[in-house]
Amino acid sequence: MKSAAALARATHWIFDLDGTLTLAVHDFEALRRRLGLPSGAPILEAIAERPRGEQAGLLATVAAWEGEALAAAAPADGAVALLTHLAERGCALGILTRNLHGIARATLARCGLDRWFPAERVVGREEAAAKPDPAGVHLLLHQWQAPPEQAVMVGDYLYDLQAGRHAGVHTVHVGALPGWPEWTDLQASGLREVLEIIRGF
C-alpha cells in the first residue's frame, strides 16, 4: 500500500487487539519475570522451547495474566469511530491476536467493541499459529474468500506487521515513530489518524 487512496479502497480489515483497538495495559516484562523468561524474549515462542512437561503450567500462567488484565481493558482513542465508519462502508472486520479466544472476546465486550466482531472473526492462538506467523491472516481471508490485495493488517507491534506482510496484505502501523518502516506500508499515530486518512477519499 503506497498511498492513502489505496488504504481507503481496502474492503477487509484485520486488527490486532491489545494496544491497537484497546489501550496498552499489559506489562510484558512483569509476565516474563513471572515465567522466568529473559527480558525481551518472545513469550509464546520461549514457552514452546521449554520441556513439554513445563509448557502447560507456563501457558496457564499466561492465561491467568491475560484474565487479570481484563479489568483494565478500555478502547483506544478513535476505535469506535473507525469501526463505525468501516462498518458503514460495508467492510469486513476481523481480529487477530496472540491472546486466547475467550479472553479476546471478553476484552472486546468490556470495551464495547464486540458488536463488530462475531466469534468466527476473532482469531486467537488456539485457532491459528501465533503472529508473526501469517496463518491467522490466511484463515480470515479464507473465511471471507477475499484476495490479499483487498485486505489490511493494522497493529501496534512488529509481529502484526510481519504477519500481514508475510500473508501478502497491506500493513498499517499505529504508534510512534520510528516503528518498523521495512514492514509498514502506512504509519499513523493512532486509529483516529487512520480514520482521517480514509475519510479524505
| Domain boundaries defined on the chain | 4-24+73-199, 28-72
Confidence of residue 7 (pLDDT cuts 50, 70, 90): confident
Task: Write down the pTM of the prediction.
Answer: 0.91
Does the structure show a pLDDT above 50 at 102? yes
Confidence of residue 2 (pLDDT cuts 50, 70, 90): low
Confidence of residue 200 (pLDDT cuts 50, 70, 90): confident
What percent of the chain shows pLDDT beyond 70? Answer: 99
Tell me: the pLDDT tens digits for 118-163? 999 999 999 999 999 999 999 999 999 999 999 999 999 999 999 9
Confidence of residue 103 (pLDDT cuts 50, 70, 90): very high
Confidence of residue 1 (pLDDT cuts 50, 70, 90): very low
* Mean pLDDT estimate for the chain: 94
Does the structure show a pLDDT above 80 at 68? yes
What percent of the chain shows pLDDT beyond 90? Answer: 90
CATH ID of 4-24+73-199, from 1.25.40.10, 3.40.50.300, 3.40.190.10, 3.40.50.1000? 3.40.50.1000
Tell me: the pLDDT tens digits for 19-52? 999 999 888 999 999 999 999 999 999 999 999 9
Burial class, 71, CB count within 10 angstroms (exposed 0-12 / middle 13-18 / buried 19+): exposed
> First and final CA of the chain: distance in angstroms?
15
Does the structure show a pLDDT above 60 at 110? yes
The number of angstroms, rounded, from the C-alpha of 59 to the middle of its chain's C-alpha atoms is 20
pLDDT of residue 201: 74
What is the bridge-based pairing of β-strands 186-188 and 170-174? parallel
Question: What is the distance between the alpha carbons of residues 4 and 200, in angstroms, rounded to a whole number?
Answer: 9
